[in-house]
Amino acid sequence: MVGVIGDGVVAGDADIAPVAALMGEPARAAVLMALLDGRALAASTLAAEAGVAASTLSAHLARLVDGGLVSVEASGRNRYFRITRPEVADTLEALARLAPCRPVRSLRQGTHAEAIRHARTCYDHLAGRLGVAVCDALVAAKVLGVEEDPGGRPDPVLGAGRSRRYVLTKSGRARLAELGVDVEATGRRPLTRYCLDWSEQRPHLAGALGASLLARFVELGWVTRGERRVVKVTDAGRKGLVAEMGVDPDAWA
Amino acid sequence: MVGVIGDGVVAGDADIAPVAALMGEPARAAVLMALLDGRALAASTLAAEAGVAASTLSAHLARLVDGGLVSVEASGRNRYFRITRPEVADTLEALARLAPCRPVRSLRQGTHAEAIRHARTCYDHLAGRLGVAVCDALVAAKVLGVEEDPGGRPDPVLGAGRSRRYVLTKSGRARLAELGVDVEATGRRPLTRYCLDWSEQRPHLAGALGASLLARFVELGWVTRGERRVVKVTDAGRKGLVAEMGVDPDAWA
DNA sequence: CTCACACTTCGGGGCTGAGCGAAGCGTCCC
DNA sequence: GGGACGCTTCGCTCAGCCCCGAAGTGTGAG
């Protein structure tokens, strides 16, 4: 009756295999991880990142675009690729949480590994120890409240499946506005999102607010975005984060 | 060969490719989806589910175990496989949320895709719009309460997702028994399980109770199981679900 | 003890797809 | 316009692994 060989997964069922296979090839995985900070990178940059020939990478990128994980934007003779949706980044982070860290092969790689655990960008918001510390500070200052996610009703798409969520308090909204954080800049995106950090195994703040927060930090010159998702905190940033944000300096330094 | 390894991917960064590749093969993906509800299934069951020979599946299972996604428990001459950690299920669900974005390739697939989104079985319980609607009705009628899950793993701060669960209330137990649902038929299986629906992006009821509920619906002739997990609601079922269960007819019709 | 069953291991066949270089097409710069 | 640059397409090779059936190991039932 059924007996269809090679068609084990039923059409219409959630067919995770194709998507997972896209992420399961080393070169493509490297591309996706490189794009995880939300920036758009040129094909040549990504080829160097993945360590394969341009022609090889071109094929990979075509498949990623076809699979809806990555979108293209042509600009002159360059084509810039970026991750299409936050859900893709979510999935990559979920996989990262599952994956063992690759062994460290050199001192340089070791220091970078340390740096990226210290402070990095995750798609478009802060992560690493700094991201967690900032998030903790926001909760401690009651800028954010943590509440249980009533995961049934209101949120049609995002937020479901997350057991807890952050809500921006009234006083928190005022406080962030005072700091110049664009609290209103949320499109269809949820303002806050509870995002588990793969290196710290603790939550940090994602969503539109997480993005606005990072943008403002950069604007203030508190942090600078370095190579490969690494984030550096400036002297002014160190002071500002402690004085204005109430971040515990020991928690991330 | 040392030089072949691209230094593009940073040591210490998470290497998602091997894990994603494990999930990216159709037979293994089918296995993982079958185990998604937390049950432990025998190898032969999984072979039928994946539609491959026992020997083929054995190799797949060995790789899944080796990769830490699945654990084995030998019992007599059977070996039962289950998903090791909630993080694995989280990742599978993240992938499933990404997967439905594929375009529908044929009309026939389209109608089947619609049917399966309407009402289907998720291995042994109801899912799709009907599954969500029934679950909503149970919560609204206070047959089920939603509470935070204290449980399971010794986690540093927060459990990695899945920390909410349904509990059967006292009155709910009586009400279901009245309907003829076998409330006691739970082996080692958790009575209820909070399961996010991939097509509806909202939770529905899994676990032993979800299974008993479906069994009773079938017994009552309210629903019939069709091909490929599609569930059809009979006329009697339509009436019964609305009258007895308090399901909102607009929510799933 | 013997058969039946569940699962694994082994050997071989077949196909997908990842890889590269060369060539083609379009864009930007001098 | 000519040339450099960025990217894609094409043709090809080769490795990996997915698959099966048959044989081997261990357990349970009669």
State the complex-level ipTM: 0.63
Assign A140 a pLDDT band (cuts: 50, 70, 90). confident
DSSP 8-class letter at A100: P
Cβ separation B29–A23 shorter than 8 A: no
pLDDT at A99 over 90: no
CATH class of the domain whose range is A16-84: mainly alpha
**Cβ atoms B15, A29 nearer than 8 A:** yes
Centroid of chain to Cα A178 = 26
Cβ separation B25–A17 shorter than 8 A: yes
> What would the CATH number be for the domain defined by B16-95?
1.10.10.10
Centroid of chain to Cα B119 = 14
Averaged pLDDT, groups of 10, chain B, 253 residues long: 31 77 96 81 90 94 93 86 83 82 48 66 70 83 70 29 63 85 63 60 68 83 72 85 83 71
Protein CA A151 to sugar C1' C9 (Å): 47
Q: What residues have CB less than 8 Å from A235, skipping those under 6 apart?
A: none
What does chain B come to in residues?
Answer: 253
Residue A153: closest C-alpha in chain B: B202
Alpha helices (H) along chain A: 16-23, 26-34, 43-50, 54-66, 86-98, 107-118, 128-140, 170-179, 207-219, 235-243, 249-252
pLDDT at A47 over 50: yes
- Smallest Cβ–Cβ distance between A9 and the set B30, B109, B199 belongs to B30
Regarding predicted confidence, which is higher, A68 or B246? A68
Q: Which amino acid does the sequence have at B242?
A: V
What is the rounded CA–CA span in Å between residue A247 and residue B14?
Answer: 27
Q: How much is the pLDDT for B61?
A: 96
Cβ separation A4–B100 shorter than 8 A: no
Distances (CA, A) of B217 to A52, A182, B129, B175, B220: 56, 51, 16, 15, 5
Alpha helices (H) along B24-85: 26-34, 43-50, 54-66
Residue B51: closest C-alpha in chain A: A8
Residue B4 CB in 7 A reach of strand D: no
A161 contacts in chain B (CB < 8 Å): 90, 93, 97, 161, 196, 201, 203
Q: How much is the pLDDT for A112?
A: 62
In 3D space, the residue among B201, B96, B88 whose CA is nearest the CA of residue A159 turns out to be: B201
Domain chopping of chain B, boundaries? 16-95, 104-252
Angle at the Cα of A11 from the Cα atoms of B87 and B65, rounded to 5 degrees = 35
Nucleotide nearest to B76 (CA to C1'): D27
Tell me, yes or no, if B97 comes closer than 8 A to chain A by beta carbon.
Answer: yes
What is the rounded CA–CA span in Å between residue A24 and residue A35?
Answer: 16
pLDDT at A59 over 90: yes
Cα dihedral: A43, A38, A188, B204 (round 10): 100
DSSP 3-state percent helix, strand, coil across chain B (nearest 5):
45, 20, 35
Residue B17: closest C-alpha in chain A: A24
Protein CA B197 to sugar C1' C26 (Å): 46
Average pLDDT of the residues in A36-56: 88
Cβ–Cβ contacts within 10 Å for residue B4, how many? 6
